[in-house]
Amino acid sequence: VQLQASGGGSVQAGGSLRLSCVASGLTSRSAVMGWFRQPPGKEREFVAVMHRGGVAALYADSVKGRFTISKDNAQNALYLQMNSLKPEDTAVYYCAADRNLIWGRARFSSDYDYWGQGTLVTVSS
């Protein structure tokens, strides 16, 4: 299984970015897929996750109302639309996937089997 993340970059506060994660060796409709991030000098943290069915989603409180997670099963891809970006959103963003994850554990990075390589998002004030 490979997860290829892309879409990171540098933006000013208030700007937008869209992250993409394309999966191979795994079908997006059969897996819980999500985004985590690791700010400089901090631990990896949960951002957003989408259920296998592509309807239910969970968000970290810090991004709720600004970020939107979505999935395109035809493209085997996961997306994260990030609007109203803040300097505190600066981090390396990782996509993750797991076929057997229990939905109640979806916020826990330790429960995911597969990880992308990360894409850097830098938000300047």
Residues 10-14, mean pLDDT to the nearest whole number: 98
> What is d(CA 37, CA 93) in angstroms, rounded to the nearest whole number?
4
Whole-number percent of the chain with pLDDT over 90 = 96
Task: Please spell the DSSP secondary structure of 22-42, one letter per residue.
Answer: EEESS-GGGSEEEEEEE-TTS
pLDDT at position 53 over 90: no
Pairing type for strands 119-124 and 9-12 reads parallel
pLDDT at position 92 over 90: yes
8 Å CB contact between 94 and 46: no
pLDDT score of 122? 98
8 Å CB contact between 87 and 38: no
DSSP state of 52: T
pLDDT at position 6 over 90: yes
Confidence of residue 54 (pLDDT cuts 50, 70, 90): confident
